[in-house]
């Protein structure tokens, strides 16, 4: 369910679906996967947005980072930038530039003139 929902699940919702307590679900997740359900959902959501951005860059589709964030279940563009920093060690725009060399011009911040979307450039 977590994968099909793209990481847009709650721990309490998963626990309810399984009929387990949240504590038992957390324990089983850690035992089987090595992550808590919340951590696993973050990884799934990050992978989803990473693939979306990569696909859009490859096809030449124009996509704002805010639209990508909303489509993939992030609260906002800043949340997306923080998660990218945590998982990739850089901003989404920097990652795209490093990965494909053509992503930065396709993915603009909603706010004009804020640079590459990194938390430092958003201050």
User: pLDDT tens across 31-89, in order?
Assistant: 999 999 999 999 999 999 999 998 988 888 888 999 999 999 999 999 999 999 999 99
> According to DSSP H, which parts of the chain are helical?
11-18, 22-32, 37-59, 65-71, 77-88, 92-100
Over the stretch 94-103, which tens digit does the pLDDT of each residue have? 888 887 544 4
> Which residues are CB-neighbours of 5 under 8 A, at least 6 positions away?
none
Contact 74, 82 (CB under 8 A): no
How many other CB atoms are there within 10 angstroms of residue 28's CB atom? Answer: 13
Residue boundaries of the structural domains of the chain: 41-122
């Amino acid at each position: 369910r977590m994968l099909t929902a793209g990481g847009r699940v709650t721990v309490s919702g998963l626990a309810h679906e399984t009929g387990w307590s949240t504590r038992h679900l957390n324990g089983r997740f850690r035992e089987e996967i090595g992550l808590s359900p919340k951590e696993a959902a973050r990884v799934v959501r990050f992978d989803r947005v990473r693939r979306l951005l990569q696909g859009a860059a490859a096809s030449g589709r124009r996509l704002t980072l805010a639209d990508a964030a909303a489509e993939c279940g992030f609260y906002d563009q800043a949340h997306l930038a923080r998660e990218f920093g945590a998982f990739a060690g850089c901003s989404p725009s920097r990652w795209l530039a490093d990965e494909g060399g053509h992503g930065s011009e396709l993915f603009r911040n909603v706010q004009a003139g804020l640079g590459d979307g990194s938390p430092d450039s958003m201050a």
